[in-house]
Structure 1
Amino acid sequence: MSTAPAESFHVRLTASRPARHKRAIVFCCDQNYLVFAAHAAAQIASLVEKPEFDICICYGHQAVVLPDSLAGLGIRLCHVDVGDVFEGLRLDKGKTHDVYLRIALPTAFAGEYDKILYLDSDIFVQGGDFNALFDIDVAPHCIASVRDNVQWRTPKRQNKRNTIKGIPPSAYFNAGVMLMDVQAYTEQELMRRCVEFGRARRRDLKRHDQNLYNAVLQNDWAEISPVWNWQYSWSTRLFAVFAYPNIIHFIGPAKPWKDESGQFEPRFADSFDRFIRTHFSGSRQVETGGRRLAPDSMKMTKMLIKHLITARKIAHYLARFPNELTVHR
């Protein structure tokens, strides 16, 4: 085991092995979501022949255990101990302060990694040059991310769940995929700023760290192509067939591994089901009920109409990114 203390806020990192690269793809999860983080990690490993990055799975209060069958992936398991750093921050019912763990990643990994690509666990990876993504220059910002999908069609639109009283409207990013420049993040004291803001405005927050990041940064972030975080909703899923994004992000409460209404493409559930049966046979299985969304269903009709109405706006948005490595600073 390797142990590396992080100076600020008494964050401490304990890892299953030393770092091998100066860059890392990092997931944060508990044992319940480990299977989905591991599924995404396996997809990335199969895509990248010569990775120039580590793959880490981080946990907080609850330790996670990977099955021996996944040892070949070389995943680095990391315990990030933040002590009482996140005390006083808002929590939804049933949640722990681990929902803020990604805020601490650059602090925890300072001295080991120069860049971190944070990924949510509820994703499906189907392409992308991850080595090249790490190479993009996001300076002078410390984070590069994808705009929240409520602003894909209408850039100035503000979602009520995203707004905080007294904070002016701004471009708002989805924190499910973030490329972090560790040095800039540390120099700009982003962790401290987020924690202090979160404690001071606890009653005004409607989400967790995504609200904090956007309120504190206020447009001070680099924007990358939505192919790196295609937020899969009823208004964007049909466009995904042609955009063929690198990462599909299952935002919201509906997930393809618990899809009794049959609203997701069957290939997602099939992939998760095979992975679970192979590596996590004792875990909860995929539940779909065997249903498929009928072409003449009301839900399909609404989706088709929505896509037809918004097609021009989505095309305009996608045209801002001529290739997957385009970045707007």
Structure 2
Amino acid sequence: MTFSMTADRPARHRRAIAFCADANYLPYALFAAAQIAALSPGRDFDICLCSDAELSLPPALAPLGLRAVTIDTGGAFDGLRLDRRRTASAYLRLALPQALRADYDRILYLDGDIFVQGGDFGALLGLDIGPHAVAAVRDNQQWRTPRRLPEQFRRMGWKTAPYFNSGVMLIDTARWLEADLGTRAVAFGRQHKDRLIGHDQTLLNCLLRGDWAEISPVWNWQYTQRTRLFEAMRMPHVVHFIGATKPWKDPQGALSPRFAAAMAAFFSGAMPDQPRPAVGTGPLLDRGRLGKMCLRHAMAVPATARYLSQFPTDLTVLRRAEPGPAAGADLSLPA
């Protein structure tokens, strides 16, 4: 696959943080980008907002030096699996290494539904990830049960392997291109469309099957009923709102009100025309919900502690001793 790109300014550095956002997700990606910029005033990396349509960034954010990038996909993702909540732009992260290859050696891709509260992103971008093209955080389904067989692997007739969440993904551009991961992911997605249950995350995990470097969950703390209280004690760098509930879409008041409050304050100053999320009371006043949540956490303590103990620092990297099938192994299904 070949992609062309245009940008509103030249690249300043050889490393970048990149968000992929359509018009609907752009406000939330800008909020996260502004949080990172505030944490990194003397940063040695660019912060890019990428889309397959031209983006207009708010003038109030001009001092942050964000880079707006438009990527022409040429219909490369047509025919891939979608659902009622997603368009083909959901696969845009697969185009980043090829589209930005002339500008960046390292790309940290981030989903827009995150809340950033700390971390040295420059150090993360410089991690030694060995021979791997990708470093990421294990998907929450395997935090407490690392040998759990992902449903997609079961459907493929494969054995279990470490499975990552693609919402935070450190990419070594040269290694990605050498393995031709983007082209192969799209081909796999079209070939097995009827058997897939996910999108870009599923495709990459099917190709890599363990051939990726594992980083600390503080960079992608997936916010669930079994992790949110631990989040308050661990204070991860990046909170990721997986699932349908987001700070701007929380009708049940399931999230801590601090997330919506911070986002509302940002919109008020930088994007006054953007609807501000309602700030609820959180689950504290719902005794039944809070009781169930506490019970789930209590049951998860031993397994969660074992998982977290593998990462003594926020920059610990777990690398596989043997590369997986990323470089071109046979991915055909069993008969």
Fold shared per TM-score above 0.5 = yes
Aligned to 2:288: 298
Structure 1 match to 2:22: 30
What amino acid maps onto 2:158 in structure 1?
I
Q: Do the aligned partners of 1:21 and 1:54 also contact (CA within 8 Å) in 2?
A: yes
In structure 2, the CA distance between the partners of 1:167 and 1:201, relative to structure 1 (3 Å rule), is: farther
Displacement of 1:93: 2.5
Indicate yes or no: 2:146 matched with 1:179. Answer: no
Whether contact under 8 Å (1:162, 1:211) holds in the other structure is no
Q: What is aligned with 2:220?
A: 229
| Residue number in structure 1 paired with 2:2 | 10
Equivalent pairs counted in the alignment come to 319
Pairwise mapping of residues 50-61 of structure 1 onto structure 2 (< 5 A)?
50-60=42-52
* Cα-to-partner distance string for 1:101-151 (whole Å, 9 max, x where unaligned): 001100001121000000000000000011111111112100000000110
Candidates 132, 137, 142, aligned match of 1:146: 137
Q: Measure the CA separation in 2 of the matches of 1:94 and 1:300.
A: 29
The letter for the 1-side match of 2:294 is L
1:162 Cα deviation from its structure 2 partner: 6.8
Question: Structure 1 residues 243-252 or 40-49, which shifts more?
Answer: 40-49
Aligned to 1:49: 41
Structure 1 runs of 4+ with >6 Å offset: none
Matched AA of 2:317: V
Structure 2 partner of 1:132: 123
- Verify: 1:113 aligned to 2:104, yes or no: yes
Counterpart check, 1:250 vs 2:251: no
**1:207 has 2:208 as partner:** no
One-letter amino acid matched to 1:268:
F
C-alpha distance 174-96 of structure 1, shift in aligned 2 (>3 A): same
Q: Does structure 1 residue 324 correspond to structure 2 residue 314?
A: yes
What's the CA shift for 1:241? Answer: 1.0
Matching residue's letter, 1:46: A
Contact 2:153/2:159 (CA < 8 Å) preserved in 1? no
By how many angstroms is 1:71 displaced? 0.3
TM-score (norm 1): 0.94
Q: Residue 190 of structure 1: CA displacement?
A: 0.7
Secondary structure of the corresponding residue to residue 238 of structure 1: helix
Separation in 1 of the partners of 2:150 and 2:269?
A: 40
Instruction: Give the drift of 1:30.
Output: 1.1
Determine the C-alpha separation between the residues in 2 that align with 1:65 and 1:190. 30
Per-residue CA deviations over 1:29-82 (Å, capped at 9, x if unaligned) read 01211111111111111111321100000001x332111000011110000111
The yes-or-no answer on 1:266 pairing with 2:257 is yes
Q: Cα gap change, 1:20/1:241 in structure 2, threshold over 3 Å: closer, same or farther?
A: same
Q: 2: distance between equivalents of 1:94 and 1:235?
A: 25
Q: CA deviation at 1:192?
A: 1.4
Question: Do the aligned partners of residues 287 and 158 (structure 1) sit closer, same or farther apart at CA in structure 2, a change above 3 Å counting?
Answer: farther
Question: Could you say which residue in structure 2 is the equivalent of 1:309?
Answer: 299
Which stretch shifts more, 215-224 or 165-174? Answer: 165-174
Residue in 2 aligned with 1:3?
none
Q: Matches of 1:83 and 1:271 in 2, distance apart?
A: 37
Gaps of 5+ in 2: 320-335
| Paired AA for residue 288 in structure 2 | M
Q: Which residue of 2 aligns with 1:239?
A: 230
State the Cα distance separating 1:256 from its structure 2 match: 1.4
Superposition RMSD on alpha carbons, in Å?
A: 1.4
Query: Structure 1 164/86 Cα, relative in aligned 2: closer, same or farther at 3 Å?
Result: farther
Rounded to whole Å, the distance in 1 between the matches of 2:228 and 2:135 is 23
Instruction: Give, as a single letter, the amino acid of the residue that structure 2 aligns with 1:308.
Output: A
Which string of whole-angstrom CA distances, capped at 9 and with x for unpartnered residues, describes residues 166-213 of structure 1?
333211000000000000000111111111111110111111000000
Structure 1's unaligned 5+ residue stretches are 1-8
- Cα distance change of structure 1 residues 39 and 110 upon mapping to structure 2, 3 Å threshold: same
1:232–1:248 contact (8 Å) kept in structure 2: yes
Superposed displacement of residue 291, structure 1? 3.8
Give percent identity, aligned residues only: 48
In the alignment, the residues of structure 2 paired with residue 327 and residue 203 of structure 1 have an alpha-carbon distance, to the nearest angstrom, of: 35
Contact 1:118–1:178 (CA<8 Å) still a contact in 2? yes
Determine if contact 2:28/2:112 at 8 Å carries over to the other structure.
yes
- What SS does the corresponding residue of 2:175 show, helix, strand or coil? helix
For 1:260 and 1:294, the matched residues in 2 are separated by 15
